[in-house]
Structures are given as C-alpha cells and as structure tokens.
C-alpha cells in the first residue's frame, strides 16, 4: 500500500492564490530562507501551469461544443454561435501565443475532451448529436458563416 504525501503549505497556498504565494516567496527570500523560497517557486510554477491547462481545456470544450451544435442543428444556427466559435478560437490562439509550451498538448486534448464537448452540446441541444468526431480542420480552420 502506498502512502500519500501530505500536501505542502506551498501547494495549498498556490492553489488558493498565485499573488499570495508570490508574496510569501518574497517574504522567505527577504528572511534568507532560500530553500523554502525555492519550494514555493516550484509550486507556484506548477500551479500556473495547471491554471493555463484548465483555461485551454475550457476553451476547447466550448469551441467543440458549439461546432457540434452548428453541425447538428443547422436550422438553429445563430450569430451568437458564430461569435462563440470565433471568440473561443481567439482565446485559444492568444493563450498559445503567451504559453507556447501548451501547443504540443492540443492534439491530444482534442481527442481527450471530445466526450465532454459532446456531452455539453447534447445537453444544450436537448438531444443526441449526430456528430461522431471533429477534425483539426473543423475545429481550427473551417469557416462557420
């Protein structure tokens, strides 16, 4: 049986507030506790990475769900769906510009988030979707006029 490592104070703080974590790290540095500051920095970096990944996942789900709705319900297409698709693409593009280390994750996330995006779309439509998959081109390149 494996034992779980206790959650460090840095993990809890970084999960709660990036700003307060940075402030606490500064305090440790001013006190001369370099080892403690390094532990805090490592946890803050990990927390920021998790936050970026959550944002990317959220935008991908939103984007794919709206494309599924677009393809599943042509009679209900609206300007707001187009706006949501364009906005999600812009948000993803901007995030990837600022955080290029996330780029390699995108293809795997498209596959991994498919079920969630389809579930969101079906819940919003109130019926099952006829769409079984979305290609890279459909998600990032096709125009939805």
Give the span between the Cα atoms of 145 and 138, in whole angstroms: 13
Kindly state whether residue 4 falls inside one of the protein's structural domains. Answer: no
Alpha-carbon distances of 15 from 24, 50, 59, 118, 129, rounded to whole Å: 13, 9, 21, 29, 36
Range of the domain at 42: 9-140
Kindly state whether residue 2 falls inside one of the protein's structural domains. Answer: no
- Structure tokens that stand for 27 in this block: 């305090």
Q: How confident is the model at residue 136 (pLDDT cuts 50, 70, 90)?
A: very high
Kindly state whether residue 114 falls inside one of the protein's structural domains. Answer: yes
pLDDT at residue 2, rounded to an integer: 47
Kindly state whether residue 1 falls inside one of the protein's structural domains. Answer: no
Q: How confident is the model at residue 106 (pLDDT cuts 50, 70, 90)?
A: very high
pLDDT tens, 50-90?
899 999 999 999 999 999 999 999 999 999 999 999 999 99
Give the span between the Cα atoms of 89 and 118, in whole angstroms: 18
Question: DSSP character for 73?
Answer: -
pTM of the model: 0.80
Q: Does residue 38 carry a pLDDT above 50?
A: yes
pLDDT at residue 1, rounded to an integer: 47
Kindly state whether residue 40 falls inside one of the protein's structural domains. Answer: yes
State how many domains the chain has: 1
Give the span between the Cα atoms of 111 and 117, in whole angstroms: 10
119, 108 Cβ separation under 8 angstroms:
no
């Amino acid at each position: 049986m494996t034992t779980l490592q206790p959650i460090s104070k840095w993990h809890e703080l970084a999960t709660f507030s990036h700003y307060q974590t940075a402030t606490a790290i500064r305090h440790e540095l001013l006190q001369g506790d370099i080892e403690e500051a390094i532990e805090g920095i490592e946890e803050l970096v990990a927390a920021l990475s998790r936050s970026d990944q959550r944002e990317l996942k959220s935008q991908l789900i939103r984007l794919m769900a709206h494309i599924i709705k677009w393809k599943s319900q042509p009679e209900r297409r609206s300007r707001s769906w187009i706006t949501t698709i364009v906005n999600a693409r812009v948000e993803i593009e901007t995030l990837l510009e600022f955080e290029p280390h996330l780029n390699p994750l995108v293809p795997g996330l498209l596959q991994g988030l498919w079920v969630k995006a389809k579930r969101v779309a079906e819940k919003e439509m109130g019926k099952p979707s006829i769409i079984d998959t979305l290609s890279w081109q459909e998600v990032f390149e096709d125009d939805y006029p």
